[in-house]
Amino acid sequence: MSFAVRFLLLAAAFALIGAVADANTGGGDSNKVGFDVLGGFPFSPPAYDPDKPRAQAGPQVDEQLPVAVRKLNGKKVTITGFMLPVRMKDGRAVEFLLLRDQSMCCFGEQPQMNEWVVVRMAKPGAYAPDVPKSFEGTLRVGAIEENGYLSGIYLLENARAAK
């Protein structure tokens, strides 16, 4: 077999492997984002002030976010982390925090606000404790407030488990 034929067969095999990988990851239309990017900068949440309107936290949050992180707003991303359920329905996770690591528990250290992502599932999904799991959806970057409190800076909307 000539070199040219072997080269073409090898190129075809690599193309097939790439097509299979794309099919397994949703066609490659989602960017993988890690906590090295999301949590790779110092972040200090603004102090809670009941006398200020809720919108006051937004500018204080945005000015701390690196440009590269702000550019992820509205993008389809895949993020891997550990699940901490916030809301369940019929034993399945509807909303949860996706954590950088397993340190957020009764004896661990509290993670920084840029080390978790609030995940809202498109459909309730299986809860997988103690194992890293990947989710894809649309990432919202900026202040997430609930009842006047800043509860996060990252929200993964319409999420589903990544393959």
CA-CA distances (angstroms) from residue 39 to 44, 74, 81, 100? 12, 18, 12, 8
Q: Do 3 and 43 belong to one domain?
A: no
Higher-confidence position of 140 and 15? 140
Q: Do 111 and 134 belong to one domain?
A: yes
Give pLDDT, residue 104. 67
Q: What does the pLDDT look like over 20-72, one tens digit per residue? A: 333 333 445 679 999 999 999 999 988 776 776 555 566 788 899 999 999 99
Higher-confidence position of 143 and 23? 143
0.85 exceeded by the pTM? no
pLDDT value at 2 more than 60: no
> The domain containing residue 8 runs over which residues?
1-28
Q: Do 24 and 39 belong to one domain?
A: no
Q: Do 3 and 69 belong to one domain?
A: no
Q: Do 18 and 44 belong to one domain?
A: no
Q: What's the total number of domains in the chain?
A: 2
CA-CA distances (angstroms) from residue 34 to 43, 45, 114, 135? 17, 21, 11, 11
Q: Do 17 and 38 belong to one domain?
A: no
Give pLDDT, residue 105. 62
**CATH (domain of 120):** 2.40.50.870
For the stretch 3-11, contacts whose Cβ atoms lie closer than 8 Å and that sit 24 or more positions apart, written own/partner, are none
Give pLDDT, residue 96. 96
Higher-confidence position of 4 and 100? 100
Q: What does the pLDDT look like over 107-121, one tens digit per residue? A: 678 889 999 999 999
pLDDT value at 8 more than 80: no
Q: Are 112 and 43 in contact (CB under 8 A)?
A: yes
Q: Do 84 and 12 belong to one domain?
A: no
Give pLDDT, residue 56. 59
Q: Do 23 and 38 belong to one domain?
A: no
Give pLDDT, residue 52. 66
Q: Do 127 and 152 belong to one domain?
A: yes
Which one of 8-12, 60-64, 72-76 scores highest in mean pLDDT? 72-76
Q: Do 15 and 52 belong to one domain?
A: no
Give pLDDT, residue 120. 97
- Virtual torsion, Cα 32, 35, 36, 37, nearest 10 deg: 70
